[in-house]
Structure 1
Amino acid sequence: MNDNLLDRVARLEALEAIRDVDARYCRALDDGDWDTLVSLFTVDGEFVGLSRARGHAELRSFFAGLAEAGLTAFWHHVTNLEITLDGPDEARARSLLWQPCVQDGVPHIAAGHYTDTLRRVDGDWRYVTKQVSFDYFVPLADGWDHGRFTVASAAATYPGRQFA
């Protein structure tokens, strides 16, 4: 009985730690805290979405460069986190994303999902891959309907399209 209880507690601790990584990712991204954001990835971790960046130097450059690319403000609202533990140190997660943002000075609304793989490194969970796919990314004033995009890099992430 005790072994089973210990396994169950370890599982619950892992799930909660992964939820915490996701919350810290959103907060660090929205606050522009690139040191914290990059630390949430493995050394060779990658972000796949608006672009592809691998390794801490590329990740820092990509995220810090979003403002220069016109994405000057964003607020990540992530929900419905589904986590699958593939072992004591490996996991997959999927969550829904709703993201008001400002692109080229224009308020936009975006929605989609994240698909992640994670690994425990030195006791802490880190992203191996964090991939975003958008269902829409449009000016707020235009409203939205499924599949509309005004940002080409977001359109490239639409489910069913190949990422270049």
Structure 2
Amino acid sequence: MADLQRRLAVLEDREAIRELDARYCRHLDQGQWDELADCFTPDGTFDGLSVVRSRSDLVRFFAGLAGTGLTAFWHHVSNLEITVLAGADEARATSLLWQPCVVDGVAHVAAGRYQDTVTRTPQGWRYQIKQVRFSYFAPLDQGWDQHRFTLDSARAAALLPLPDASGSAAAQTSEHATAPSQPAKPTATRKP
């Protein structure tokens, strides 16, 4: 009977983490910044278009996305793989992101993968780290197949080399691998 209870608890934990992802997407897409920050632990980190830690910085970062030209988005998360660590109040989750969005009035499409570390708190499961790495971020009319990026911050989040002044890809060192503290203004489409 104890094994059945343990298995049931793991299933309940996995479902609660799926619901956390659903709330994260809804709050993000609806601009509910305080509720979005509630999806994180008090010292939680978002690592994507920028690396942001703490509740106040999370609220400020996500509320400021419109100022970078990213004015609308619709997050779709699927293919969740959730591992609840035995004997711990921690889990790992990997999922697929597909995100149609609008950048400076132009329809874009983005996709990537989330790698999350989730912690059980008295309020339920919360993100300790929510990390996204983009596979592509491109104007919809130009397609996604060449892995085009129009946001330098998305390129940085994908850990791709940034172009140098001549337009050719420069080698990226580990110090440039971390996304900038503020999202970059969208630039002209370039192949990485």
Instruction: Give the shorter-chain TM-score range.
Output: over 0.9
Q: Is 1:66 matched with 2:65?
A: yes
Q: 1:3 maps to which residue?
A: 2
Question: Displacement, 1:147?
Answer: 2.6
CA distance in structure 1 between the partners assigned to 2:101 and 2:66 by the alignment: 11
The AA in structure 2 aligned to 1:114 is Y
Letter in 2 for 1:37: L
The aligned counterpart of 1:41 is: 40
Q: Which amino acid aligns with 2:63?
A: A
Aligned-partner Cα distance in 2 for 1:89–1:7? 13
The structure that has the greater radius of gyration is: 2
Q: Is the 8 A contact 1:135 1:146 kept in 2?
A: no
Contact kept, 8 Å, 1:135 with 1:159, in 2: the verdict is no
SS, match of residue 65 in structure 2: coil
- Retained in 1: the 8 A contact 2:138–2:147? no
Cα deviation, 1:111-148, whole Å, max 9, x if unaligned, reads 11111001001150000000111011010111112431
- What is the distance in 1 between the residues matched to 2:141 and 2:147? 16
CA–CA separation in structure 1 for the residues paired with 2:146 and 2:115: 20
Identify the residue that residue 92 of structure 1 maps to in structure 2. Answer: 92
CA distance in 2, matches of 1:103, 1:123: 35
Q: Post-superposition, which runs of at least 4 consecutive aligned residues in structure 1 deviate over 2 A?
A: 159-164
Q: How does 1:7-22 map to 2 (within 5 A)?
A: 7-22=6-21
CA contact (8 A) 2:101 2:108 kept: yes
1:107 corresponding residue in structure 2:
107
Unaligned runs of 5+ in 2: 162-176, 180-192
Match of 2:133 in 1: 133
Residue type of the alignment partner of 1:163: T
**1:21-40 matches, cutoff 5 A:** 21-40=20-39
What is aligned with 2:178? Answer: 163
Could you state the TM-score of these two structures normalised by the residue count of structure 1?
Answer: 0.95
Shift of 1:159: 5.3
Count of residues in Structure 1 that have an aligned counterpart in Structure 2: 163
The question of whether the paired residues in 2 share the 8 Å contact of 1:95 and 1:114 is answered with yes
Instruction: Evaluate the alpha carbon distance shift between residue 67 and residue 57 of structure 1 in structure 2; reply closer, same or farther with a 3 A threshold.
Output: same
TM-score (norm 2): 0.82
More strand by share: 1
* Contact 2:51–2:178 (CA under 8 A) maintained in structure 1: no
- Distance (whole Å) between structure 2 residues aligned to residue 49 and residue 150 of structure 1: 15
CA distance in 2, matches of 1:143, 1:133: 19
Rounded Cα–Cα distance in structure 1 between residues aligned with 2:12 and 2:58 = 28
